[in-house]
Amino acid sequence: MDNPVTNDTTDILYKIKNIEKELVALKLSILKKHTPSNKKIISLKGTLKEVDVSEQDIIDAKKSLYSNIEP
């Protein structure tokens, strides 16, 4: 007859092994999604040459972007 502690330990080790496999798969899927593609990077440099951006404009933009985020 098998020792119940041995069966429990074996089950736990099996579950840990499966979790490790799932973590590796998750890491790979995240890396695939965030790896740069071969798309050309578009430069926005010089697009606002004639526009004056004030400090208040920047403050307003930050408030607009981060309004839903609570500290």
What tokens were used for 18? Answer: 């499966």
In-domain check, residue 69: no
Cα–Cα distance for residue pair 7/15, rounded to 1 Å = 12
Walk along the chain (71 residues) in steps of 10 and give the mean pLDDT of each run.
Answer: 71 93 92 75 77 87 78 54
Question: Is residue 21 included in any domain, yes or no?
Answer: yes
In a domain, 55, yes or no: no
Q: How many domains, in total, are found in the chain?
A: 1
Distance CA 42, CA 39 (A): 9
Residue 51: per-residue pLDDT: 80
